[in-house]
Structure 1
Amino acid sequence: MEEASYNNHAGYYGRPAAPHPSANTSADITPIRGGTPNTDGIANPFNDAASSRQNPFASPSVSRPDSSYTTSNGGYGSRHDGQRFFHSRRIPKGVESEKPWLGKKDSKEKWVTIFPILGILAGLGISAFLVWDGINSVVKHNYCPVMDDDFSGGLDSSIWTKEVEVGGFGNGEFCQTTGGDDNVFLENGVLTIRASLQDEDKVEKDTLIDLLEDGTCTSDQFSACVASTNTTVGNSSIVPPTKSGRINTKKGASIKYGRVEVTAKLPKGDWLWPAIWMMPVKDTYGAWPASGEIDIMESRGNNYTYAQGGNNIISSALHWGPDPANDAWWRTNNKNQILRGAYSDDFNTFGLEWSQKYLFTYVNSRLLQVMYTNFKKPMWERGDFPPARSNGTRVEDIWSQTGNSNTPFDQEFYLILNLAVGGTNGWFEDGKSGKPWMNESPNARKDFWKDRGQWLETWERPQMEVKKVVMMQQCNGNEEL
């Protein structure tokens, strides 16, 4: 049954299969279904006019070896008339099959494999070296602890000072910073700086806030201690339309060269302005920005759709120059955008590393730098300041006399944490994403207050939360690094 089945199958394709080697091959081959023999002695199963046509199932001659053609005696041998037929893949006993892979190989073929392998190994080696070199190029210093505060014991008043002002720290901010527990407090072991609305009566009615009179003002400037609302027709004066908090370590912790790390979660809400920054303990080289400012982190509470970048972007900068009109911050600033989500979604560590030769900020890891500034070139030369101011007075070199290329960043600085609201210094640019006030307008505060029905709805979490603050000073003998 097996052999018959085999022959019938072969016949289906136009002719019988080659006889089995054990079969009697001396007899004539009988045509199938009345067919007539071909000239090679093998029956043609279709004995009609169509039999002269080419077999549609035949394979091109170039696709078959000579050994696949059967001889008249049922064996395997050379072609006879170029005719090609289907034949079984079964190999009879005693017949050696072709094994082209055992033939002699070209000696050059091995390089087809060797070259790609060598390329892969070289790539891995170079990558490993770059990683190693990057890690080892990060300078390591010996640090002495100055402060390590997780607020488990509350807000230590010997270190931290709550600033109480109404002036906006020169940025025209729309908030009053308070000294009580309404805007700066501990919640679930986390330091919280929260923004809130000003008392409506103080904004809508004639009011005077005089922090000098009650002795709570922490500033030495009159404009930062006194504010008023005047409802007289044509008068644009109102008290700050919001309240918030700002704290500093001027009294209890400062460093000259070292490291600072603040682990914080940023706020969610339009026109909120969180910041982690440093100011000089003494104005050694003059009023701001002559004695410098270090902004470790600044951001905005607006979401990612805000044109200037919302809470998905942080910024770092240095402020330095002979006067406010010649602040060269734009030469030393950079931004970092989080890969996924926003900096208001979870806690991140915002850091600073500062030495006599360089200063850089980072987020979460020293290798993830936000801004890097080296002090190879003196800062006065780097600033390329004009020889004279717009009023014709001479601009004098106030730093080169020290002999330090990093002046003014060669003095003691203290840390500030705050959450501002709005402002007129350009941090929120005019005409961006529905901003409801103009920076140069005398009615900026009023316009902001009138739009509170819009922005207050976005204050999903109007607070900056701080888990931990670490300050470390370079130990003696390491300042030259």
Structure 2
Amino acid sequence: MASGTSSSKHSASTTAGRPKADRQPSPSPGSSTPRSITHSLATGPSTPVLRSTPSRIAIRSELGSSNGLASSNGFTSSTGLASSTAQTSYFKSRRIKKSEIQRPWLDQKDPREKWTWIIPLVGILLGLGIATALVWMALRSVVNHKYCLVLNDNFTTWDSNVWSKEVQVDGFGNGQFEMTTNTEENVYVVNNTLVIKPTVQDPTLLENNFVIDLRGNGCTGTEWYQCVATTNVTNGTIINPVKSGRINTRLGASIKFGRVEVEAKLPAGDWLWPAIWMLPTYSVYGEWPRSGEMDIMHSRGNNYTYRQGGNNIVSSKLHFGPNKENDGWWRNNVKQHAPGHKTWASGWHTFGIEWSEKYIYTYIDTRLLQVMYTHFSQPFWEYGNFPLADANGTRLVNPWEGTGSKATPFDQDFYLVINVAVGGTNGWFEDGKSNKPWVDRSPTARRDFWLAKDQWEPTWRDQGFLQIRRVRMWQQEGHNGC
């Protein structure tokens, strides 16, 4: 309280000794207006008067009014009346030139400043290194073996010395709905193009009791059920509701290690199942899948809306195992989407496989676009991770034991198979997906599919067939006399 009284007296005495024109009202408590430095209120250019206080140094600029009249409180307005708002400007020295201002950061560098360019540079170099490694690995996987050409078919005509048509009605173990034929209705050559085209079965064979017996009439199956089919209107079983084609090169061309390329355009149509694959010429290690199967391309004719993927997706895989219930296909089942918003049915593509003593891989159009790659780094019995026993408790035996090759069972001759299947009861078309008109476990699955003919047959009319315009097979040098 004592210091406040002394300050008031000093202020009063100072004010009393000034001319009246220089007296200014003391700022109210809390005011931000500086009071230590003021300008005189002459009508001409004002001259700043510098006073210092212990607290701060500031400048208050009091500008003359446009008519030369000053307000009593030290502020002016265009009307000469007192203004309620003060304009504040701060002191700016003109005595120090810009060139004389000290800038120590130019002479003394911050030791952390170098990281502003080291970290980005390290990132760039790391990115280049990773990109180089990926390119190197891709090129390293593309081994340039020497080959002998085994087959080069441009389909100027049908070559029966190379190709065979399979004739069966059993669905080939997958419950497929087609009956394969050896007629030109389903397999034919036109304009240097091989066509495999599914067609609808004669309705009279499906709506009345009837028996088809192909034994002695071209059936290529070895069991009676592969050659005989019946329609029984009482229990709902029917003959295959569709006819199609399945061809192979077993008699004309097979290879043990090498390459195969098939240039094809896939079909478009609901429940069609096109496939390009390879089977062993001789079942050296036993019945399927003991002796192996190589799937170059499998797809579906349904469009892209089909939940499992239609003709916008193809897949590759290997089949191998001690029995049908223990198949190791799931170890290397790989899917490939068509580029952009296209489908594999919208243009021609080359579906290929390269196979050696050390690896198998499939590709599309170029060997750099690999789909499925399997390196023979361990025996297939270990790679398959099979259980010790099957569901019945029977111990599983390694069918490839003692061969001394990690490539077994893929170390024998294989031939090419091309077909268009329709439907099936093995799960390739899953139950409950996209209005599937049959259930796999139903004993009337074929009939249920047939009754939905008005739904799927119209989707086949534009491009419900597989087209192939070139097939080539090469044998790797050092094998099979190459």
Q: Do they superpose with TM above 0.5?
A: yes
- Residue aligned with 2:428, SS: coil
Matched, 1:48 2:80: yes
Amino acid at match of 2:362: T
- Residue aligned with 1:318, SS: strand
Kindly indicate whether the alpha-carbon contact (under 8 Å) linking 1:178 and 1:245 is maintained by their aligned counterparts in 2.
yes
2:32 aligned residue: none
Kindly indicate whether the alpha-carbon contact (under 8 Å) linking 1:148 and 1:468 is maintained by their aligned counterparts in 2.
no
Task: Check 1:50–1:201 CA distance in 2 against 1; reply closer, same or farther (3 A cut).
Answer: farther
1:142 aligned residue: 145
Matched, 1:34 2:35: no
Kindly indicate whether the alpha-carbon contact (under 8 Å) linking 2:317 and 2:329 is maintained by their aligned counterparts in 1.
yes
Amino acid at match of 1:66: S
Amino acid at match of 1:347: W
2:301 and 2:475 map into 1 onto residues whose CA distance is 32
Following TM superposition, by how much is the alpha carbon of 1:120 offset from its aligned partner in structure 2, in angstroms?
5.2
1:200 aligned residue: 203
User: Which of 63, 66, 72 is residue 93 of structure 2 equivalent to?
Assistant: 66
Kindly indicate whether the alpha-carbon contact (under 8 Å) linking 2:70 and 2:80 is maintained by their aligned counterparts in 1.
no
1:468 and 1:54 map into 2 onto residues whose CA distance is 92
1:423 aligned residue: 424
Kindly indicate whether the alpha-carbon contact (under 8 Å) linking 1:400 and 1:407 is maintained by their aligned counterparts in 2.
no
Compare CA radii of gyration and give the structure with the larger one.
Answer: 2
Question: What are the equivalent positions in structure 2 for 1:53-452 lying under 5 Å apart?
Answer: 53-55=85-87, 61=90, 65-67=92-94, 105=106, 106-108=108-110, 111=114, 114-115=117-118, 118-119=121-122, 121-214=124-217, 216-231=218-233, 234-340=234-340, 341-391=342-392, 393-452=394-453
Task: Give CA-to-partner distance per residue, 1:21-69, whole Å, 9 cap, x none.
Answer: xxxxxxxxx978422479xxxx9773523457324xx77x4xx8534xx
Following TM superposition, by how much is the alpha carbon of 1:173 offset from its aligned partner in structure 2, in angstroms?
0.8
2:50 aligned residue: none
Following TM superposition, by how much is the alpha carbon of 1:176 offset from its aligned partner in structure 2, in angstroms?
1.3
Q: What count of residue pairs does the alignment treat as equivalent?
A: 418
2:479 and 2:150 map into 1 onto residues whose CA distance is 20
Following TM superposition, by how much is the alpha carbon of 1:103 offset from its aligned partner in structure 2, in angstroms?
8.8
Unaligned regions of 5+ residues in structure 2, if any? 1-42, 47-62
2:464 and 2:102 map into 1 onto residues whose CA distance is 75
Task: Give CA-to-partner distance per residue, 1:62-86, whole Å, 9 cap, x none.
Answer: xx8534xxxxxxxxx69xxxxxxxx
Following TM superposition, by how much is the alpha carbon of 1:380 offset from its aligned partner in structure 2, in angstroms?
1.9
Following TM superposition, by how much is the alpha carbon of 1:272 offset from its aligned partner in structure 2, in angstroms?
0.7
Kindly indicate whether the alpha-carbon contact (under 8 Å) linking 2:155 and 2:469 is maintained by their aligned counterparts in 1.
no
1:101 and 1:256 map into 2 onto residues whose CA distance is 82
2:128 and 2:447 map into 1 onto residues whose CA distance is 63
Unaligned regions of 5+ residues in structure 1, if any? 1-14, 19-29, 68-76, 79-95
Task: Give CA-to-partner distance per residue, 1:232-284, whole Å, 9 cap, x none.
Answer: xx233321101111111111111111122222222111111111111000011
Amino acid at match of 1:470: R
Task: Check 1:423–1:478 CA distance in 2 against 1; reply closer, same or farther (3 A cut).
Answer: closer
2:26 aligned residue: none
Q: Which moved more, 1:285-294 or 1:125-134?
A: 125-134
Q: TM-score, normalised by structure 1?
A: 0.77
Amino acid at match of 2:367: R
Kindly indicate whether the alpha-carbon contact (under 8 Å) linking 2:256 and 2:480 is maintained by their aligned counterparts in 1.
no
2:277 and 2:259 map into 1 onto residues whose CA distance is 13
Task: Check 1:146–1:17 CA distance in 2 against 1; reply closer, same or farther (3 A cut).
Answer: farther
Task: Check 1:388–1:31 CA distance in 2 against 1; reply closer, same or farther (3 A cut).
Answer: closer
1:257 and 1:398 map into 2 onto residues whose CA distance is 21
2:252 and 2:226 map into 1 onto residues whose CA distance is 23
2:449 and 2:209 map into 1 onto residues whose CA distance is 18
1:464 aligned residue: 466
Kindly indicate whether the alpha-carbon contact (under 8 Å) linking 1:268 and 1:311 is maintained by their aligned counterparts in 2.
yes
2:164 and 2:480 map into 1 onto residues whose CA distance is 30
